[in-house]
Structure 1
Amino acid sequence: MQIKDLHPWDIQPHLAIELQQRLAKQIRIKAISGRIRFVAGLDCSFDERRNLIFAAVAVLDIETMKLVEQAYAVSKIQFPYIPGLLSFREAPAMLKACSLLETEPQLVLVDGQGIAHPRRLGIASHIGLCLAKPTIGCAKAILIGNARVPGRQKGCYTTLTDPKTGQVIGAAVRTRTDVRPVYVSPGHRCDLADAIRWTIRCTTCYRIPEPIRLAHQGSGRFKASWAQKGLAGPIYRC
């Protein structure tokens, strides 16, 4: 899988903010075009004691909801934890994992925000630019914006609105009946309607969409294996 090398990642926070403001102008919010067969999910785990981040990507066949491929990467944490700048901390390892894939996904779901971000460039949007693919942000909590509580049934949603501008930047989506919603926003090359539709389509009996859920499990297993066995090398695929 090809990755665009857009910029250095290990930069000062004030420069990261300026970069986000520039890159946000390249984001395209539009309906997804073309057939989607393979959907990838991205997530990561941390070992703060060793200063390591463990990223995983899981690719599912959307027609069968079966796992097709997983890839993993581990790297040193190079950027501090700063809300709104998480892509500079997490995306490098996630992109390393993506670079190992032999299966080419047509859509990528990321654990985090898309345009529901103060500068309209959350990690899903940032990764979308690096992959030149449609991406969707699916977060467990709101970073910015207000949304009413959606209906109780799976598939219900309410819009997420920036209180300063009134812009609709995402949605609170009920992915499982009587379970807390997730917060969905377009990342890149995707509009809100498609972001909601594909989030629900990729969700089975859990709150979290299956591609992200499997990536989350994979990153945890990879972290545990690394700690127990001392796996050599920065990347791994299966």
Structure 2
Amino acid sequence: MLKIRDLHSWPSTESEAVAIQQRLRPLVRVETPTATPRTAAGLDVAYRDGDALVAVVTVLDIATLAVLDSVVLRSTTTFPYVPGLFAFREAPALLRALERLTVLPDVLLCDGQGLAHPRRFGLACHLGVLTELPSIGVGKTPMGPFDAPEDVRGAWTPLALDNDVVGRALRTQAGVKPVFVSVGHRYDLDAACALVLRLAPRYRLPETTRTADHLGRIN
């Protein structure tokens, strides 16, 4: 059963949220995974009218890409839309969805950023630190400028913020835009990109993201 670490209360102001990110950032660990993951979770949030949202988690068998478990949770966010603080809108509902899983995933793949974040603490870092599960951020858009990788599957270029390499623009398929991969927690960038490629055999986005996004659209 998943246990959520009680490291902070959920803030109501931007300054409180920034302080939480700065306090938790040193807890992020970048490390080579010691075991080959067998299951991976995709996490996505779909927004409805007003502050209503649908948080979705799907768990896939990495070898077959079969969906082993899924949770769809309807909720309402109480935190405003502030760039760099999306975790405070989305993480509370995603954490409740994770707690309802019957299959505990070996790694989380978040539709968002990890270290590729102004304070190096995006959604993937936040969820990883609170759950102590390995986590990876797979964003659809970059946090800053980047050079386009070669148009072949597996090509990549570095993502940099303030002269720090924080992730990679990774081409998962030829002829489509890259995705933007960054470490969340308990992973390294080489292993993260290798896993994203393994989970994206046919399309731009990994199957973890695709299955979660699909459930969010139909529920």
Task: Write the distance in 1 (CA, Å) between the matches of 2:110 and 2:24.
Answer: 18
Counterpart of 2:127, as a letter, is I
Q: Does the 8 Å contact 1:10/1:78 carry over to 2? A: no
Partner of 2:121: 121
Tell me, yes or no, if structure 1 residue 198 matches structure 2 residue 195.
yes
1:167 to partner: Cα distance: 1.4
Tell me, yes or no, if structure 1 residue 17 matches structure 2 residue 18.
yes
Counterpart of 1:11, as a letter, is S
- Count of paired positions: 218
1:198 to partner: Cα distance: 0.8
Partner SS for 1:45: strand
Tell me, yes or no, if structure 1 residue 150 matches structure 2 residue 149.
yes
Alignment of 1:151-170 (within 5 A): 151-162=150-161, 164=162, 166-170=163-167
Which aligned runs of 4 or more in structure 1 are off by greater than 4 angstroms?
A: none
Gaps of 5+ in 2: none
Q: Per-residue displacement from partner, 1:111-141 (whole Å, max 9, x unpaired)? A: 0000000100000000001110110000011
Partner SS for 2:92: helix
Counterpart of 1:3, as a letter, is I
Tell me, yes or no, if structure 1 residue 6 matches structure 2 residue 7.
yes
Alignment of 1:151-230 (within 5 A): 151-162=150-161, 164=162, 166-222=163-219
Alignment of 1:125-144 (within 5 A): 125-144=125-144
Task: Write the distance in 2 (CA, Å) between the matches of 1:217 and 1:127.
Answer: 21
1:219 to partner: Cα distance: 1.4
Counterpart of 2:146, as a letter, is A
Instruction: Give % identity.
Output: 39
Task: Write the distance in 1 (CA, Å) between the matches of 2:59 and 2:130.
Answer: 18
Task: Write the distance in 2 (CA, Å) between the matches of 1:30 and 1:147.
Answer: 24
Q: Does the 8 Å contact 1:125/1:188 carry over to 2? A: yes
Task: Write the distance in 1 (CA, Å) between the matches of 2:81 and 2:74.
Answer: 17
Partner of 1:74: 74
Q: TM-score, normalised by structure 1?
A: 0.89
Partner of 2:58: 58
Q: TM-score, normalised by structure 2?
A: 0.96
Q: Which moved more, 1:5-14 or 1:75-84?
A: 5-14
Q: Per-residue displacement from partner, 1:153-188 (whole Å, max 9, x unpaired)? A: 1111111112x2x21100000011110001110000
Partner of 1:228: none
Task: Write the distance in 1 (CA, Å) between the matches of 2:168 and 2:6.
Answer: 30
1:10 to partner: Cα distance: 3.7
Partner SS for 1:53: strand
